[in-house]
Chains A and B, each alone.
Chain A
Amino acid sequence: EAGVAQSPRYKIIEKRQSVAFWCNPISGHATLYWYQQILGQGPKLLIQFQNNGVVDDSQLPKDRFSAERLKGVDSTLKIQPAKLEDSAVYLCASNNKGVDTQYFGPGTRLTVL
């Protein structure tokens, strides 16, 4: 069974530029999560999708971050414009409701200069 796929793996941008990350969850998983992990911290949930609907985006900085999951499968997370403090690893995870764990992708390491 293929795991959660993410791309790109690394991205370096200047502040005020835009960036997008892509995630393809495990086949059949209805729930998809985006996390931000700043160096030295644990992952922090940004947004949770159930199929193509948003379940929780309470910690998403909506003035600059957006995410979509149009067909209920893969998802994109966008930052526009980026700030220095957005430097982090962005993790995507997926599972099905009632399953006892989330499965994480390898993450995208973003560096904002």
Chain B
Amino acid sequence: DQQVKQNSPSLSVQEGRISILNCDYTNSMFDYFLWYKKYPAEGPTFLISISSIKDKNEDGRFTVFLNKSAKHLSLHIVPSQPGDSAVYFCAASPQGGSEKLVFGKGTKLTVNP
């Protein structure tokens, strides 16, 4: 059973436009959510996180929105840059921190110049 779902395997956007990556989860016990970015041949790197007590967290060009009632979160990148091209993983944790992470399958973002 897939507890964290990223239903779009890939996304392509133009440079300067907004990228929106989506993630759904099924486990009501998840209370902390993270986004990781992964370049080829490298390990995932932390991008941004959000606690279940918030509905929005912003860090520069990156904003994560959380809709607990819908069990849905999204990552917005504005404006998108070619260097943002990578695989983005959504992850969730039931323990209020970053332990016991459950990852989605990832979405490959391509930002075209």
Residue B89 lies at the interface, judged by CB distance under 8 Å to chain A: yes
CB distance from A106 to the nearest CB of B (A): 5
For the complex, count residues of A whose C-beta is within 8 A of B: 24
**Residues on B with beta carbons closer than 8 Å to the beta carbon of A103:** 46
Q: Complex: how many Å from CA A56 to CA B46?
A: 22
- Bitwise, A78-113 to B at CB < 8 A (1) or not (0) is 000000000000010101011111111111000000
- Bitwise, A29-57 to B at CB < 8 A (1) or not (0) is 00100000000111111001000000010
Q: Is B103 within 8 A of A44, CB to CB?
A: yes
Footprint of B on A, CB under 8 Å?
Answer: 4, 31, 40-45, 48, 56, 91, 93, 95, 97-107
Q: Complex: how many Å from CA A101 to CA B89?
A: 13
Beyond known contacts A99-B98, A101-B49: 14 more, CB 8 A cutoff: A4-B43, A31-B99, A42-B103, A42-B105, A42-B106, A43-B44, A43-B89, A44-B103, A95-B98, A100-B98, A102-B101, A103-B46, A104-B45, A106-B42
25 A–B pairs (Cβ distance < 8 Å), ordered by A: A31-B99, A42-B91, A42-B106, A43-B44, A43-B89, A43-B103, A44-B103, A45-B100, A45-B101, A48-B99, A48-B100, A91-B44, A98-B97, A100-B32, A100-B34, A100-B49, A100-B97, A100-B98, A101-B46, A101-B98, A104-B43, A104-B44, A106-B41, A106-B42, A107-B42
